[in-house]
Amino acid sequence: MDQAEKDEATEPQTAQCALPWRQPLAVLAITLLIILVIYRETALSMAAIWARSDTFAHGFLVPLITLWLVWRKRASFADVVPLPNYWVLLLIAGAGFGWLLGEMATVGPLSQFALTAMVILAVPAVLGLDAARKIIFPLAFLFFAVPFGEFAMPQLMEWTADVTILGLRASGIPVYREGLHFIIPSGAWSVVEACSGVRYLIASLMVGTLFAYLNYRSLKRRLLFVGLAFLVPIVANWARAYLIVMLGHLSGNKLAAGVDHLIYGWLFFGVVILAMFWIGARWREDDVEMSPETTIGVASLHWNNTKLVPAALATVLVAALWPFAEWQIERNAPADISRVEAIPAVQGWTPTTQRLSDWEPVYGNASAYLHDSYSADAGQVGLYLAYYRNQGPERKLVTSVNDLVTSENRRWIRVSEGLRDEQLGGKALALRTAELRSADASRLIVWRWYWINGRLTRSDHLAKAYTALYKLLGQGDDSAIVIVYAPKESAGGADALLSRFVSAALPSIETALQQTRSKR
């Protein structure tokens, strides 16, 4: 039998085997569509981030790439019998609870990861584990659609500054550093968000993972290349930052400034990544071709599709429980507030109308806030409170955009930060510290901590966890940031002055916050 006769013999069987998959795929598609409609706000929030952020613009491509990867595996489904797996509903319930926690704590990535997990788990729930195993990588690839990774930006910025300054000093250039800002003889430089390399890292990791899956068969080679896709952009970004500063220095700041800065950075990154893929392609492992007889089975001719609809309905019902639970919690939310209750008198300290400094923290969309100053014989301190209630995507206390200063602030910069533990009247207070410097060289020492429904913490993660816990318990999400600050040049030292003030003012501050919380 020649090749043409073989093709004619296999075509009818292929068509017969493909036909029964129409109903299972239709049931699955409807199931996924309903889940996305139920969680439309979360899905749309992901799409909104893809649209406004160049860092996550690849999210639009991820679903399309997943569909293409699944299509490439279509021949392997010929002998797979779709058999719903109801045990997977427990995992969907777990993902749904994770989504609820993300909504309670206003942690967008957690809600988005949970929704993506529910979409992925719907496949084995409706079609069975055998079908899901065939496309396990395409399904897992969907997680790249979640806009996640900016949490690493501060650490990447710190590493970039460390390596750049190390390289400059090794090149014989003197450097004076304060935090992420440094001065060399030819000018001043700053490591800002765009210098972190997080955009390069996320793009490299996604494309590198896809490249490893398509070009290698062994798990060892795949993991090795994904590891390189993670490390290479980090190291390349260090080299990029050093070379840009050197180029600016040697050219008298005529090159690598402004738009040139970004263009040279992307060109360098592109060359490095292309080189990585070119080298990786030299060790590619091609697919083992399979004859039509090995990919065509007959089990698909005997499917019982009546089992799929009940599984799909169960999947939708389990997924729908969590938005209903959120609605039950949110319907009892208290009314918004417009002001923080006045702070009772602080023994030994007098409120003053004269502002200590022109600096003000950046805590946007707070329900209410106050910014006061207090004076005593030892000196003057500032107090800032930002209060949040009924938090959501547009109003939340713990977020990357809320900070002491931003990179766009040309008046104030942060030169250092740390942690501190204070014992105030037998009560432990864990707080975060920072030193700020203004353009006129004045300096502030800043202490801050969170107040979450009466609990005090300096941890972003604990603040989120407490917020979620109290909302689940029906006690609301009232939260605040407490910031105190004093001039570094204060008599006796700013830390001693702040310690004295906080020791006297903490009971009054907590009383004002509790009174604000009680107005529900």
215-224, 270-279, 332-341, 508-517: segment of lowest average pLDDT: 270-279
Q: What is the pLDDT of residue 249?
A: 85
At 315, list the tokens: 């999947």
Residue 425: pLDDT band by 50, 70, 90 thresholds? Answer: low
Global pTM value: 0.87
Residue 393: pLDDT band by 50, 70, 90 thresholds? Answer: confident
* First-to-final CA distance of the chain: 84
- For 476-486, what is each residue's pLDDT tens digit? 999 999 999 99
Question: Ramachandran region of residue 379, left (φ > 0), alpha (ψ -120 to 50) or beta?
Answer: left
Burial 126-156 (b: 16+ CB within 10 A, else e): bbbbebbebbebbbebbebbbbbbbebbbeb
- For 295-336, what is each residue's pLDDT tens digit? 434 444 445 566 889 999 999 999 999 999 999 998 888 889
Residue 169: pLDDT band by 50, 70, 90 thresholds? Answer: very high
Report how far residue 17's alpha carbon sits from residue 11's, in angstroms, rounded to the nearest whole number: 10
Question: Ramachandran region of residue 452, left (φ > 0), alpha (ψ -120 to 50) or beta?
Answer: beta
pLDDT(405) > 60: yes
pLDDT(196) > 60: yes
The packing angle between helices 88-104 and 308-330, to 10°, is 20
Q: What is the pLDDT of residue 51?
A: 94
Amino acid at the residue 117: A
Contacts of 461 (CB under 8 A, 6+ apart): none
Q: What is the pLDDT of residue 251?
A: 79
pLDDT-above-90 percentage for the chain = 60
- For 340-381, what is each residue's pLDDT tens digit? 999 999 999 999 988 888 999 999 899 999 999 999 988 999
Q: Is the pLDDT higher at 386 or at 246? A: 386
Q: Is the pLDDT higher at 225 or at 407? A: 225
CB 402 within 8 A of CB 362: yes
Q: What is the pLDDT of residue 409?
A: 82
- For 123-161, what is each residue's pLDDT tens digit? 999 999 999 999 999 999 999 999 998 888 889 999 999
At 243, list the tokens: 């070379």
Q: Which DSSP string do the residues of 389-444 spell out, in sequence order?
A: -S-BTTB-SS-TT-BS--TT-SSEEEEEEEEEEEEETTEEEEEEEEEEEETTS-EE
pLDDT(282) > 50: yes
pLDDT-above-70 percentage for the chain = 89
Q: What is the pLDDT of residue 262?
A: 59
Amino acid at the residue 517: R
Residue 224: pLDDT band by 50, 70, 90 thresholds? Answer: very high
Query: Mean pLDDT throughout 393-408?
Result: 89
Q: What number of other Cβ atoms are within 10 A of residue 282's Cβ?
A: 6
> CA dist 79 to 19, 306, 332, Å?
13, 19, 52
Q: What is the pLDDT of residue 304?
A: 58
- For 46-102, what is each residue's pLDDT tens digit? 999 999 988 899 999 999 999 999 999 988 887 888 889 999 999 999 999 999 999
Amino acid at the residue 289: E
pLDDT(39) > 70: yes
- For 245-262, what is each residue's pLDDT tens digit? 888 888 776 765 554 555
Q: What is the pLDDT of residue 486?
A: 95
- Mean pLDDT, rounded, of the chain: 87
CA angle 92, 96, 100 (to 5 degrees): 170
- For 442-469, what is each residue's pLDDT tens digit? 999 999 999 999 999 999 999 999 999 9
Q: What is the pLDDT of residue 331?
A: 87
* 3-class state of residue 261 by DSSP: helix
